[in-house]
Amino acid sequence: MVLAAEFMKGFIRMADDGCRQGWHERNGGNLSYRLKPEEVDAIKPNMTPAGHFIKIGVKAENLAGEYFLVTGSGKYFRNIAAAPQDNLGIVELDQQGEGYRIVWGLEKGAVPTSEFPTHIMNHRVKKAVTKGEYRVIYHAHTPSIIALTYVLPLTDKEFSRVLWTMATECPIVFPDGVGVVPWMVPGGSKIALATCELMEKHDVAIWAHHGMFCAGPDFDTTYGLMDTVEKAADIYLRAMSCGQGIRQTISTDNLREIASAFHVKLREEFLD
Ligand code: 13P
Ligand code: ZN
């Protein structure tokens, strides 16, 4: 019943697609989805809530009582489709939005991803700024973006400009650009707060020397965003590896032309 749910199938397909891209070595990366009320109702008979709530380390009042499908800590994406109940779980948040309990899956003693604080804080911000539309938070270890964090200045503007200009469709796919979190210890509330601050303005947050977080309304859009940003980084690396630098590119005027033709608003502070 739970495994037959459309959101479960979409989640597993996305995890498999990310794995095939080479973004999920070992247990790298994690994924979470905020369930819709009707999806919760449909699987309620299959829930077996663990007794007590466990503190997350961050608080999200606007997510009180909500349910999330989330990958387990230390779990390998490549194993998800073969044994979803061991590698994924559905968790319920308490009425304060600061504790969780497992209601399905994460069997054999598993727990939600170590990046659960960042997922929850990103969901908190995105639910607020998109008026409930966004439901997916995705973290992947995307090699080309990680490589760029070793060679480009770690600023939102530098990364946004480079990535926007690496393919004509990029500014249409992520008109708000990307945010960059400097190197930080992963897995706690500090990096969660730094990331969700950027998520107020962008759908993409890059973690220096680590990977990327993307947010979106559904699995297709969020996966597509990760794929587009990573591909832009890959194009930059390929162009630079020809050894003569960037000779010509999409100009600021061209970016403005794209914005006007496709009716998107590019973040002005990245355009001067
Ligand atoms: P988890 O296995 O706890 O999800 O950690 C993987 C990861 O990518 C940490 O940033
Ligand atoms: Zn990671």
Does residue 271 register a pLDDT over 90?
yes
Nearest CA to ligand 1 atom 4: 113
Residue 223 located in a structural domain:
yes
Does residue 221 register a pLDDT over 90?
yes
Contact 195 CB / ligand 1 (< 6 Å): no
Residue 20 located in a structural domain:
yes
For residue 209, the domain's CATH number is 3.40.225.10
Residue 18 located in a structural domain:
yes
User: Ligand 2 mean position to 197 CA, how many Å?
Assistant: 18
pLDDT given at position 50: 81
pLDDT given at position 139: 99
115 is annotated as an active-site residue = yes
Q: Each residue of 173-204: pLDDT tens digit?
A: 999 999 999 999 999 999 999 999 999 999 99
Residue 10 located in a structural domain:
yes
Token pair listed for 109? 């003693």
pLDDT given at position 144: 99
Using a pLDDT cut of 90, give the percent of the chain over it. Answer: 99
Q: Give CA angle at 185 (213, 225), nearest 5°.
A: 10
Secondary structure of residue 56 in the 3-state scheme:
coil
pLDDT given at position 122: 98
Amino acid at position 215, single letter? A
Mean pLDDT rounded to a whole number for the chain = 98
Distance of CA 103 to the CA centre of its chain: 23
Does residue 78 register a pLDDT over 90?
yes
Atom of ligand 1 nearest to the CA of 28: 8
The pTM (predicted TM-score) of the whole model is 0.98
State the ligand closest to the CA atom of 119: 1
Does residue 127 register a pLDDT over 90?
yes
Distance (Å) of CA 153 to CA 17, 147, 234, 265, 267 = 30, 12, 17, 24, 19
Does residue 214 register a pLDDT over 90?
yes
Nearest to 160 by CA among 250, 248, 96: 250
Average pLDDT over residues 78-102: 98
Q: Each residue of 21-51: pLDDT tens digit?
A: 999 999 999 999 999 999 999 999 999 998 8
Half-sphere exposure of 243 (CA within 13 A, CB side): 0
Contact 254 CB / ligand 1 (< 6 Å): no
Average pLDDT over residues 247-262: 98
Contact 113 CB / ligand 1 (< 6 Å): yes
Secondary structure of residue 22 in the 3-state scheme:
coil
Q: What is the DSSP letter of 72?
A: B
Nearest to 194 by CA among 209, 211, 210, 207: 207
pLDDT given at position 1: 87
Question: Could you say which of 39, 92, 115, 230 is catalytic?
Answer: 115
91 Rama sector, left if φ>0, alpha if ψ -120 to 50, beta otherwise: beta
DSSP per position, 91-142? EEE-TTSSEEEEEEE--TT--B-TTHHHHHHHHHHHHHHTTT---EEEEE--
User: Ligand 1 mean position to 228 CA, how many Å?
Assistant: 22
Q: Each residue of 160-171: pLDDT tens digit?
A: 999 999 999 999
Contact 72 CB / ligand 1 (< 6 Å): no
The CA radius of gyration of the chain, in Å to the nearest whole number, is 19
Banded model confidence at residue 73, pLDDT cuts 50, 70, 90: very high
State the ligand closest to the CA atom of 32: 1
Average pLDDT over residues 268-272: 93
pLDDT given at position 30: 98
Give the burial string for 125-152 (b: 16+ CB within 10 Å, else e): bbbeeeeeebbbbbbbbbbbbbebbeeb
Banded model confidence at residue 270, pLDDT cuts 50, 70, 90: very high
Q: What is the DSSP letter of 217?
A: S
pLDDT given at position 167: 98
Residue 1 located in a structural domain:
no
pLDDT given at position 191: 98
DSSP per position, 84-104? HHHHEEEEEE-TTSSEEEEEE
User: Ligand 1 mean position to 209 CA, how many Å?
Assistant: 14
Quote the domain boundaries for residue 146. Answer: 6-270
Secondary structure of residue 267 in the 3-state scheme:
coil
Number of independent structural domains in the chain: 1
Banded model confidence at residue 153, pLDDT cuts 50, 70, 90: very high
- 198 vs 203: CA distance, rounded Å: 8
Does residue 149 register a pLDDT over 90?
yes
